[in-house]
Amino acid sequence: MGKVIIHHRETPSLIVFLLLLAAARVETNTKCGVRLLGSTPLIHQGTATKPGDWSWHIALFQQNFPEPVYACGGTIISKNFAVTAAHCFNEKNPDKYFFKAGVHQLYNDSDPSVVRYKLVEIILHPKYSAATFYHDIALIRPNGDIRYKPGSVLPICLWSQLSDREMLEDKLGGIVAGFGKTEQNKVSEVLQQTSIRIISKKECRKLLPANTHYLMDDDSKFCGVGESSDSNVCEGDSGGGLYAGTNTVGGVVWYLQGIVSAAPRKDHASGVTTCDANLPAVYTNVEKYRDWIAAHEKVLDERNLLKDSTCGVVRNVDVASETAKPLFNQYPWNALLEFTHLKKNSLVLICSGVLIHRRYVLTVGHCTQGRTNRYRLRSVRLGEFDIRTRDDTDASAPHQTFRAFSIDIEEVILHPNINKPPYSNDLALLRLKYDVDTAKANIHPICLPSLEEYKEQSLTLTGWKRSKHIFPTLERDTMNTSSASECQDQYGTLHLDLPSTDDIVCAGYNNRPKGKCHNYAAGSPLQYIKRVDGNYHYFLAGLMAFSLPNCRMNATEVFVNLNGATEWIKKTVLS
C-alpha cells in the first residue's frame, strides 16, 4: 500500500488504519464490526490479509470496454448501503459501476465467497466539492439487500463514541485495508492492510506540501501517517475505510472512523509518479456524517418526497443529450400563473410554477405578493405548450392534440419564513380547487428530493421566457451551476445581499446565443435527471427567483433552493 494522490479524475489512495481504544463502552451484542476469524487486533506495515479478515471491505469497479476497471474501495455499513469516497465517481450513472463483496483476491471471480452487486443509486454528499475534496463521501446502494455471510460479508459499525476532536489527535490509530498500488507501482491483487497513526492538523500541515494545505480547511477531515515508514495508503485505496477497534467483554468490535480521501503524490525526474509513504494522507471523518447517513437509511423507500413513484418520468430515455430531446410534452409539470388585470379586467400571464402533486403547484413567493393593486392571482394553467393555440399538436404525431386547462387556486400558502433573511425561503404552495388528472401526457408532477442532494453541474431550465410579456412557447436551456462567490460578486454590484448558499442555487447558461438575453419567468423549474430503482426521473433542483437586469453573457441566475423547505412541503401537501 502506498498513498493517495491528489489529481482530478484520479482515485486518491487509501491509508490503512488499526485503531484500538480500550476505554470506550460498546454493547457486546452488536452484530456489526465483529471479525469472526479471530485475527490479532494490531497489524503491522503493508501486509497481505487472510480471507475474511475485513469482511466489510468492498472493491468498486467501473464498467469500461472491454473489461471493467478497479476504481476504489468501500465499506459495508448496512444491508442497504456501502460507503466510499465521492471522488471515486467520474460519472453519476449507477449503471456504470458494480462492487464485489467478500473479495480477497481482486480478480478471482471463482471464489465462492465473492458476491457481485450492481448499483441502483449513487448518493454524493450535497456539499461535495471535486476541486477541494471537501465532504468527500458517498453512499452506494446495490440492487437488492447485501447478503451477509459470516466470515466473508458483514457490516462494520458506525463510529459514535468520539465527539471531541482532541480525542482523535495523537491518541488513536487504525487499520486501512485496500487493493492500492504497492511498491512496484501496481494495483495489488490481494487485499493488503497496514496500521495508521492519527496526527494533529498542525503536524499534518508541517508535513504536507503548502499547495495541499487547503485539504485541512474542511472540519470533517483528519490526517494519518503509516506506523511504519515504508507503509501507507496509495492510489487505488481511495474510498476504503479506517477501522477503529474497541475492546468489549466479548472481544474487539470494529468501527468505521474514516474514509481515505487524499494525499500528495511523489513525482520523479523520470516522469513516473509514485506514492510517498512518508507523508500523511487525509481522511473523511465518518462521525461527522452519521446524521446524513441515518437520514438516507430512513427515507430509503421514499426517494421522492411525496411518495409518488410515477413522478418526473423521463421520456426519450434513449436520447443521450437533453437538448436533443423533443420539447413537446417532455416537461409536463411546467405551469403558468394566471392573473387578473384589475383595471382592464383581462387575463395576464406573469409567473411560472411547477406541478408537484395532483393538488399543488409550487412557485416563488414573491409572485404571489406585492401585486394586489394591479393584479390578482386567480388560477394556474397546466398542460400548456403554445399559448397562442387552443390545442397543441406534436409535429411527429399531428393526429394527436393536447389541450391546456386552467384551474382556480383555492389557497396560497407562503413559506412561514419567507424573506427571513431577505431573499430566503421565497416559496409558495398553491392549493388547487380540485385534484387534476395527472395521467394525461401533458400534465404530470415532477419529483422532489427527500433530502438535500448533490447538485449536478449540468442542469436543465424549462419554462416560458419573458420581456414585457410572456413568450408564446415553452423553451429549454441547459445550465451549469456557479460558485457561491461568483454569484455573490455579480449581485453585489447591484447592492443585493444574497442569502447563504443553502438557500439559493446559482447557475449560468451553457450556450446562450449572443443577443438572446430574455430571461425565464420567475418560478420556472430548474431540474436534473436521477436514476432510481432502474428508472430515470426528473427531480426539482430549484425555482427561478431573479436574474441580472442587463444582457450579460456570463451572468448567473438565482434560483430558490428547496433544501430548507422539504419538511414544510411534505407536511402541507400530505396533511
Q: Say yes or no: 235 and 337 in one domain.
A: no
Q: What is the pLDDT of residues 124-165, one digit of tens each?
A: 999 998 888 999 999 999 988 899 988 899 999 987 654 434
Q: Say yes or no: 241 and 328 in one domain.
A: no
Give the dihedral of Cα atoms 378, 366, 307, 316; nearest 10 deg: 90
170 contact partners, CB below 8 Å, separation of at least 6: 198, 199, 200
End position of a domain, from candidates 298, 331, 360: 298
Q: Say yes or no: 327 and 390 in one domain.
A: yes
Q: Say yes or no: 294 and 326 in one domain.
A: no
The overall average pLDDT reported for the chain is 82
**All three cell numbers of 543:** 425555482
Q: What is the CATH number of the domain that holds 140?
A: 2.40.10.10
Q: Say yes or no: 490 and 341 in one domain.
A: yes
Which residues span the domain enclosing 75?
A: 19-298
Q: Which of 339, 14, 371, 338 is nearest to 193 (CA)?
A: 14
Contact 519, 465 (CB under 8 A): yes
End position of a domain, from candidates 265, 298, 331: 298
Peptide bond between residue 549 and the one before it cis (omega within 30 degrees of 0)? no
End position of a domain, from candidates 256, 282, 298: 298
For residue 334, list its beta bridge partners.
Answer: 354
Whole-number Å distance between alpha carbons of 16 and 209: 21
How many domains does the chain contain in total?
A: 2
Contact 514, 553 (CB under 8 A): yes
Contact 240, 75 (CB under 8 A): yes
Q: Say yes or no: 292 and 331 in one domain.
A: no
**pLDDT in 10s for each residue of the chain, 575 residues:** 543 433 333 333 333 333 333 333 333 334 788 876 544 333 334 577 788 889 999 999 998 878 899 999 999 999 999 999 999 998 888 889 999 999 998 888 888 889 999 998 899 999 998 888 999 999 999 988 899 988 899 999 987 654 434 344 444 678 898 887 655 556 788 898 888 889 998 999 998 888 888 888 888 899 988 876 666 676 668 899 999 887 777 778 889 999 999 866 666 566 556 667 778 889 999 999 999 999 898 877 666 788 888 899 888 777 768 888 889 999 999 999 999 988 888 899 999 999 999 999 999 999 998 766 788 999 999 999 999 998 898 877 777 889 999 999 999 999 999 988 788 899 999 999 999 999 899 999 999 988 888 777 789 999 999 877 889 999 999 998 887 778 888 888 878 888 776 788 889 888 776 666 678 999 999 999 887 777 889 999 999 998 876 666 567 899 999 878 988 999 999 98
**Number of separate helices (H) and strands (E) present in the chain:** 5, 33
Q: Say yes or no: 277 and 326 in one domain.
A: no
42 is a domain residue: yes
Residue type, 218: D
pLDDT value for 267: 64
360 is a domain residue: yes
300 contact partners, CB below 8 Å, separation of at least 6: 80, 141
Whole-number Å distance between alpha carbons of 446 and 299: 18
176 is a domain residue: yes
Q: Say yes or no: 348 and 258 in one domain.
A: no
12 is a domain residue: no
Q: Say yes or no: 353 and 294 in one domain.
A: no
117 is a domain residue: yes
Q: Say yes or no: 159 and 231 in one domain.
A: yes
Burial of 527 (0-12, 13-18, 19+ CB in 10 A): buried
- Within 374-520, strands assigned E span 375-382, 391-394, 397-403, 405-414, 428-432, 458-463, 465-466, 475-481, 504-509, 519-520
86 is a domain residue: yes
- Rounded to two decimals, the pTM is 0.75
Q: Say yes or no: 293 and 382 in one domain.
A: no
Q: Say yes or no: 100 and 140 in one domain.
A: yes
8 is a domain residue: no
5 is a domain residue: no
